[in-house]
């Protein structure tokens, strides 16, 4: 549909159900979860394995046809991988983070759709039955921005504020305050290190104001919808829907 035709009261009911489902079904799967967790499409989020940690105000989005996965696996040495996600992080549809070692995502990181992050090759080159193969930690420092569809390979560290272009394949370390792109990813420009970066943390400086703003935006989006119009569009949609 071109717009969301649900009445505002239905939207509030759906929001309440999402929050209940997240607390009941999703939160217990993490080893630790901060405050302010928001998940859109929690039934399309796969969480597998221990040692997965979320900071405060983590926002996770999924979409139809785009499952998101946070998974840890044994490393073959009696240990499991670890995923640590910091505060105010945005994770969008189709994301996959898979760890047999350690993946660390700093505060205020933004990750676009269909990004793949892995700290392992998952098979050894000569012995294809040897899994997970070579393992090396991945670290994204504060305020990193990963563009759509990029791949972050084992052993990679990306410095604070850096931006990785869409579709890039990152096989080596990326310095702080740069834009990198390509396959393999290379620095293509520098950012102004003296600039005053405004991060996602600013959204949550006043959490009460943030919650009121989001509720008001939902109201504006649904305030003109009626139950009659909603039912009609479900049965007989038109171009206005």
Instruction: Collect all residues with Cβ–Cβ distance below 8 Å to 219 and sequence separation of at least 6.
Output: 8
What is the maximum span of the chain, computed from C-alpha positions, in angstroms?
64
Active site residue 123: yes
Structure token pair of residue 131: 């899994």
75: left (phi over 0), alpha (psi -120 to 50) or beta: alpha
Task: Indicate which residue of 123, 218, 222, 233 is catalytic.
Answer: 123
41: left (phi over 0), alpha (psi -120 to 50) or beta: left
Residue owning tokens 């012995």: 127
CB-CB contact of 150 with 181 (8 Å): no
State residue 227 phi and psi, 5-degree precision. -65, -35
Helix (H, G, I), strand (E, B) or coil at 148: coil
Please state the separation of Cα 217 from the chain's center in Å.
Answer: 22
State residue 129 phi and psi, 5-degree precision. -90, -10
CB-CB contact of 138 with 171 (8 Å): no
Please give the DSSP secondary-structure letter assigned to residue 234.
H
CB-CB contact of 114 with 93 (8 Å): yes
Which residues are identified as catalytic? Answer: 123
């Amino acid at each position: 549909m071109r717009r969301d035709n649900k009445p505002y009261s239905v939207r509030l009911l759906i929001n309440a159900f999402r929050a209940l489902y997240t607390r009941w079904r999703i939160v217990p799967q993490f080893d630790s979860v901060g405050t302010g967790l928001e998940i859109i499409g929690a039934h399309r989020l796969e969480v597998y394995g221990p040692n997965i940690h979320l900071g405060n105000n983590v926002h996770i989005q999924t979409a139809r046809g785009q499952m998101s996965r946070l998974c840890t696996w044994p490393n073959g040495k009696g240990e499991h991988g670890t995923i640590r996600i910091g505060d105010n992080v945005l994770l969008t549809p189709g994301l996959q983070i898979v760890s047999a070692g350690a993946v660390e995502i700093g505060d205020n990181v933004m990750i676009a759709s269909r990004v793949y992050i892995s700290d392992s090759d998952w098979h050894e080159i000569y012995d294809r039955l040897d899994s997970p193969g070579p393992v090396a930690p991945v670290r994204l420092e504060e305020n990193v921005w990963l563009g759509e569809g990029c791949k972050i390979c084992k052993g990679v560290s990306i410095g604070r504020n850096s931006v990785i272009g869409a579709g890039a394949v990152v096989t080596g370390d990326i310095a702080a305050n740069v834009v990198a792109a390509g396959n393999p990813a290379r620095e293509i420009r520098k950012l102004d290190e003296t600039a005053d970066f405004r991060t996602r943390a600013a959204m949550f400086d006043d959490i009460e104001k943030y919650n009121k703003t989001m509720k008001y935006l939902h109201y504006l989006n649904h305030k003109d919808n009626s139950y009659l119009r909603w039912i009609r569009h479900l049965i007989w949609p038109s171009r206005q829907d």
